[in-house]
A and B are shown apart, each in its own frame.
Chain A
Amino acid sequence: MIQTIIIYGIIWTFLYSLIAIGFSLIFGVADVVNLTHGMVIMAASYVVFLLVSNVQISLAISMLSGIIAAALLLIIIYLVFIRRMLKAPHTSMLLLTIGIAMMLQQVIILVAGTQTRYVPSIISGSRPIWGVVLSNQQILSVVVAIALVLLLGSFLKWGRQGRAIRAVSQDREIAAASGVSPNVIFTLTVVISGTLAGIAGVLVSPIEVVTPEAGWGFMVTAFSVTVLAGLGGPIWGVVVSAAIVSYAELLTAFFIAPMLKEAAAFTILILTLMFKPSGLFGKKRI
């Protein structure tokens, strides 16, 4: 039983990290609470589903298309809507992005219906890891997620553009005075965030199910992890926060009731906002 909690905790820590990092980056860099993030993840899953089942394109090409579509979608949302309101109060941005998210959900329903959809696994079969049988799809998803988190962490720490992103995240004005263009960095962050959302969508959809409502679930996860991690903190802060959320969910499900699993993320969100508004690793108060 303990092995199961540990192994599943690792899987969901990295999948949650992948879901949350894109959201956290935009939040930290552009100070934008982008509530469309969950729907962008869902959009990637739906693109894969529609291409595989309706157009019958190979799974690999469908997944690549899903990632590109998610990145493009977030770029369009940013250029058409968000960029014009960067200086608007947080409340306006919240209302704007929640409106876009609801619109996206309706578009998904119009195109694919409300029915639960299923995306086939990239690889079939299962294998035991430390006594816990996992599907090869779960193993692949978590390996890719770990690799991406490490890659992104390295990029932000050592890459030239990565350091610029961190600089803008910590202080936009000083970064601008040092020759970094915040607008270019915003756009770069949106591209990275959209790509990560797309990858999260294609990796999670074969493990989970694809429904128009699932986007809100991703959003709650991303929001809880980001608030717990805090703004402007290191990427490993997001990973640690994702671990706290995923283990809290698993322990709730194991020892209280599986149906209360999602309540754990909400509880963490509420407690953080009440007692540690700057988050565990943040440098700014949310």
Chain B
Amino acid sequence: MERREIGLGCFCSILIVLLASFSLTEVANAQAPIKLGVISAWDFAGGQGVKRGATMAIDDVNAAGGVLGRKIQAFVYDNKGNTDEAKRVTERLLYNDKVDAIVGFWRSELAIACQPLIMEAKKIVFLTGASAPILTKERIKQDYNRYKYTFCTIGSSDRFAKLFSLPIIVARDKLGLSKIAFLAEKTAFLVPTVEYVNKEFKDMIVYFGEFSPTASDFSIELTKAKAAGANNLFALSSGPAGTPLVKQWYDMQLAMLHTGYSVQAQDANFWKTTEGKCEAVITAHVGAGAGLPITKKSRPWYEKYRTIYGEYPISLMDPVAYDAVWAWVEGVRLAGTTESDAVVRALESKQFKYVGVSAVLEGFDDIHAPYGGGWKPGEAWGFCLIQWLNGKREVIHPENVKTADITIPDRLKKLMGK
């Protein structure tokens, strides 16, 4: 064999080996799992709800064959509700685990701190509970190219203001309770609701006070509310303070109904935690988390959740996080890739539509909140009102799905002189 033929043979062999290795790498990449980070504070009802909902969704996606022929590998971390820890695990997800996207964040304060890190890495984040307007409405509007990777399936929290204040209207119209003691947790996510309620119901508010998310003593606020003659204790809380507030409201035998928005009161275990003192407490809740048929998927999901976790959903975050994972998966499917810019375009496109367990999402608007909604387009998550009656969470609003009428138990009637 001549030297020239040997050289040609060697060249061809190297070429074949290189081509083969390239295609093997391609095949390997095509079959490698897609990496999804899930981050929340596990020791809080809302954070645990994010973990459970997202994990359940990832299992369901994988059971259905994955996305783009690839399974999802979950990297689930606890940020302990602490900003430094949240930043640390976010960086770990981005640069150590090299995830394709992140789902989670329950507290807005932590998301506000970590969002720039995720945007710097040009990775998509689907926020669950964190919904302070700064995360979407302000930052995406101000600098679209930098913040366009942020999506919030629940929308900006200023959209909830009306929904969260529903208990005021229902208690006023159905029970004639028009003197409000308004207590609000001081958190970023509730700021729009606090402003809205103080403006819209200013003639009904006889006392207003704010408290820390970890407050445990409300004796002073409740004494002032009593002195002001309130008959509706309207309280907003997303953290653990919701439990001692209910217990003290009961112990102080106040002549006022306890209404509002309380993540703690959404928990199926709340009756036990409060030793039954939550009787008559009313809270706004996500419909799917309360077992309402928002979409055809809602009820089966609700029962399946119970089979998996042995109890019904513990907070509004369970269905929200479940749908956030699926919304991202649908975006990836539509884009045909996990590449962030392509997925952003897919999620923004008219072709995007996802029927979730708690809402129908029909694309994302310019602040990356969904066009679709729960009961109707544009409405977040099909909110309802639940009331604790005889140890059970009863739906008292909207009328078409209610399981019980709004009730003032005899204990309260006696105190209120009714």
- Chain A residues near B (Cβ < 8 Å): 1, 4, 8, 113-116, 118, 120-121, 124, 126, 133-135, 137-138, 208-209, 211, 213-214, 250, 253-254, 258-259, 261
- Docked Cα-Cα span, A118 to B45, in Å, equals 14
Least Cβ–Cβ distance between A244 and chain B, in angstroms: 18
| Cβ–Cβ contact B275 & A258, under 8 A | no
Does B145 sit within 8 A of A, measured CB to CB? no
Least Cβ–Cβ distance between A121 and chain B, in angstroms: 7
Least Cβ–Cβ distance between B129 and chain A, in angstroms: 16
> Chain B, 34-61, contact with A by CB distance < 8 Å: what is the 0/1 string?
0000000111100000000000000000
Which 3 A/B pairs are nearest by Cβ-Cβ distance?
A: A116-B240, A115-B43, A135-B251
Does B214 sit within 8 A of A, measured CB to CB? yes
Residues from chain B with Cβ under 8 Å of A253 in the complex: 220
Residues from chain A with Cβ under 8 Å of B273 in the complex: 118
- Docked Cα-Cα span, A184 to B88, in Å, equals 48
Residues from chain A with Cβ under 8 Å of B252 in the complex: 126, 133, 135
Q: Which of B220, B224, B247, B251 contacts A250 (CB 8 A)?
A: B220
CB contacts under 8 Å to A, within B207-233, are 209-212, 214-221, 223-224, 227
**Number of B residues contacting the other chain (C-beta, 8 Å)?**
32
Residues from chain B with Cβ under 8 Å of A126 in the complex: 251-253
| Cβ–Cβ contact A133 & B251, under 8 A | yes
Least Cβ–Cβ distance between B215 and chain A, in angstroms: 8
Least Cβ–Cβ distance between B387 and chain A, in angstroms: 21
Does B291 sit within 8 A of A, measured CB to CB? no
| Cβ–Cβ contact A120 & B220, under 8 A | no
CB contacts under 8 Å to A, within B151-197, are 186
- Docked Cα-Cα span, A213 to B220, in Å, equals 22
| Cβ–Cβ contact B212 & A211, under 8 A | no
CB contacts under 8 Å to A, within B238-286, are 240, 243-244, 247, 251-253, 273-275
Residues from chain A with Cβ under 8 Å of B215 in the complex: 258-259
| Cβ–Cβ contact A258 & B243, under 8 A | no
Does B92 sit within 8 A of A, measured CB to CB? no
Q: Chain B contact residues: over half helix, strand or loop, or mixed?
A: loop
| Cβ–Cβ contact A209 & B186, under 8 A | no
- Docked Cα-Cα span, A257 to B253, in Å, equals 23
Given the contacts A4-B223, A126-B251, A133-B252, A120 and B275 also touching, CB distance less than 8 Å: yes
Given the contacts A1-B223, A114-B80, A135-B251, A209 and B244 also touching, CB distance less than 8 Å: yes
Does B391 sit within 8 A of A, measured CB to CB? no
Given the contacts A116-B243, A133-B251, A209 and B216 also touching, CB distance less than 8 Å: yes
Does B33 sit within 8 A of A, measured CB to CB? no
| Cβ–Cβ contact A115 & B44, under 8 A | yes
Residues from chain A with Cβ under 8 Å of B41 in the complex: 114
Does B81 sit within 8 A of A, measured CB to CB? yes
- Docked Cα-Cα span, A254 to B227, in Å, equals 12
- Docked Cα-Cα span, A4 to B248, in Å, equals 14
- Docked Cα-Cα span, A8 to B275, in Å, equals 23
Interface centre among A113, A114, A213 (most CB of B within 10 A): A114
| Cβ–Cβ contact A114 & B81, under 8 A | yes
- Docked Cα-Cα span, A126 to B247, in Å, equals 11
Least Cβ–Cβ distance between A71 and chain B, in angstroms: 25
Q: Which of A8, A114, A208 contacts B216 (CB 8 A)?
A: A208
Closest residue of chain A to B264, judged by CB?
A: A116
| Cβ–Cβ contact A259 & B80, under 8 A | no
Least Cβ–Cβ distance between B220 and chain A, in angstroms: 4
| Cβ–Cβ contact A211 & B186, under 8 A | no
- Docked Cα-Cα span, A250 to B217, in Å, equals 11
Residues from chain B with Cβ under 8 Å of A1 in the complex: 223, 227
- Docked Cα-Cα span, A113 to B240, in Å, equals 14
| Cβ–Cβ contact B220 & A211, under 8 A | no
| Cβ–Cβ contact A114 & B243, under 8 A | no
Q: Which of B43, B186, B216 contacts A259 (CB 8 A)?
A: B186
Q: List 18 A-B contacts (CB under 8 A).
A: A8-B220, A114-B41, A114-B80, A114-B81, A115-B240, A116-B214, A118-B243, A118-B273, A126-B253, A133-B252, A135-B252, A138-B251, A213-B214, A253-B220, A258-B211, A258-B221, A259-B186, A259-B211
Residues from chain A with Cβ under 8 Å of B216 in the complex: 208-209, 214
- Docked Cα-Cα span, A184 to B327, in Å, equals 68
Closest residue of chain A to B239, judged by CB?
A: A116
Closest residue of chain B to A259, judged by CB?
A: B212
Residues from chain A with Cβ under 8 Å of B274 in the complex: 118
Residues from chain A with Cβ under 8 Å of B214 in the complex: 116, 211, 213
| Cβ–Cβ contact A259 & B223, under 8 A | no
Least Cβ–Cβ distance between A107 and chain B, in angstroms: 15
- Docked Cα-Cα span, A208 to B274, in Å, equals 12
| Cβ–Cβ contact A209 & B81, under 8 A | no
- Docked Cα-Cα span, A120 to B240, in Å, equals 16
Given the contacts A1-B227, A258-B211, A208 and B244 also touching, CB distance less than 8 Å: yes
Closest residue of chain A to B80, judged by CB?
A: A114
Residues from chain A with Cβ under 8 Å of B251 in the complex: 126, 133-135, 137-138
Residues from chain B with Cβ under 8 Å of A116 in the complex: 214, 240, 243
| Cβ–Cβ contact B223 & A258, under 8 A | no
Residues from chain A with Cβ under 8 Å of B210 in the complex: 259
Least Cβ–Cβ distance between B265 and chain A, in angstroms: 14
Closest residue of chain A to B43, judged by CB?
A: A115
- Docked Cα-Cα span, A38 to B274, in Å, equals 25
- Docked Cα-Cα span, A196 to B274, in Å, equals 27
Least Cβ–Cβ distance between B146 and chain A, in angstroms: 32
Residues from chain B with Cβ under 8 Å of A254 in the complex: 220, 224
Residues from chain B with Cβ under 8 Å of A133 in the complex: 251-253
Given the contacts A1-B227, A116-B240, A208-B216, A121 and B275 also touching, CB distance less than 8 Å: yes
- Docked Cα-Cα span, A46 to B329, in Å, equals 42
| Cβ–Cβ contact A208 & B243, under 8 A | no
| Cβ–Cβ contact A114 & B275, under 8 A | no
Closest residue of chain B to A210, judged by CB?
A: B216
Least Cβ–Cβ distance between A52 and chain B, in angstroms: 12
Closest residue of chain B to A211, judged by CB?
A: B214
Closest residue of chain B to A258, judged by CB?
A: B220
